[in-house]
Amino acid sequence: MPRGGPLLRLSVLALLWGSNFLLIKVGLRGFSPYALTLVRLVLGAAVLAMVMWTRRLWRPIDRRLWLPLGVAALLATAVPYTLFGIGEQEVSSGLAGSLNATTPLWALAVGVLVGHERSLDPSRLAGLFLGFLGAVLILSPWSDDPGSIWGAVACLGAAVSYGVSYVYIDRNLTGSGLPSLLIAACQLFLAALLLLVAQPPGSSPVRAPHADALVAAALLGLFGTGAMYVLFYRLIAELGSTGASSVTYLLPVVALGLGVVVLRERVTMLAVVGVTLVLAGVVLIQRPAGLRHRAGLPDPRDEATAVERGGVGVLGQLRPQRPALEHGSPDDRHGPEAPGNQ
């Protein structure tokens, strides 16, 4: 169990990550989903750029990596960030945070479909079943409000995009030899460029200069995106993959709690049961280390392996054990640039 400083940082990380859904909801009062995502990406990338400059992490990037980085930026940042903004125009921040918790389930399902995951034992099958059952309860497709259904589908689409990005990044960027923060910064910069290119014609990016929306957008970019990454990698160095990934289970709780306390959102019993089932499913899809060794796969509890797949480009999407850190960045602990080693 983490103690003292690491425990405090873990709590701060959970608060930063889980509050993003609240900040998105407030930011949408003055920004379109497109504009809010763009501001978030630019500010987050600026924070990482400053940190890397002070730590001297900048280094040349092999030109062969720019295409995978661009695809990762699309799948892990540009698309899901925008979809959450679109979805939260219709649904509560708590519901968005709850659907976000399904990300590990989608990552496993996609991994099995493309052969990235070699086996699916009864425990993992049960986990997928419970998780997706929980997602159905959270979605509540029988609801009489069609707008909320489509908003929830957009949030679920964001979780699916995150899941696809886990598999893609793990297959195409893991072991690139670049520091995790550098890969994260590149993804944020590239995602911002992609959004600039894809700006809808004639769209009005800013609706009104509401002070609360401006503050929310600034907090979302500077702290919920930029500072969050820095804190996350420090916790990996301090607590290892298992300790850092424990924040996964706090995210939907924080999102639901902040939605109720700050925005007076209503939480249904179905949503609570659904989140519980999703988290139970996430626990079950973790394979025992011995079985993975017999299958010739990396041990998800091996800290070096887990950090090697450090969480890059996803805000609030940690996969427990191996999934939590399987976000395709190389092991920063191999050099002096590692977060926490400076």
Residue 318 CA to residue 326 CA, distance in Å, equals 8
DSSP-assigned beta bridge partners for residue 333: none
Does 329 score more than 50 pLDDT?
A: no
Nearest CA to 32 out of 20, 42, 23, 24 is that of 24
Does 278 score more than 90 pLDDT?
A: yes
Which tens digit of pLDDT belongs to each residue from 135-176?
999 988 777 666 688 999 999 999 999 999 989 988 888 777
Q: Residue 201 corresponds to which tokens in the numbers above?
A: 């014609």
Which tens digit of pLDDT belongs to each residue from 169-179?
888 887 777 78
Does 23 score more than 70 pLDDT?
A: yes
Burial (CB < 10 A; 0-12, 13-18, 19+), residue 312, is buried
pLDDT at residue 238, rounded to an integer: 78
Q: Which long-range contacts (CB under 8 A, 24 or more apart) does 331-336 make?
A: 331/304, 331/307, 332/179, 332/180, 332/181, 332/233, 332/237, 332/307, 333/237, 333/304, 333/307, 335/179
Does 306 score more than 50 pLDDT?
A: no
Average pLDDT over residues 45-60: 89
pLDDT at residue 184, rounded to an integer: 87
Which tens digit of pLDDT belongs to each residue from 58-111?
888 888 899 999 999 999 999 999 999 999 999 999 999 999 999 989 999 999
Q: Which residue has the higher pLDDT, 41 or 143?
A: 41
**Neighbour tally for 253: CB within 10 Å:** 17
User: In the chain, what are the domain boundaries?
Assistant: 4-334
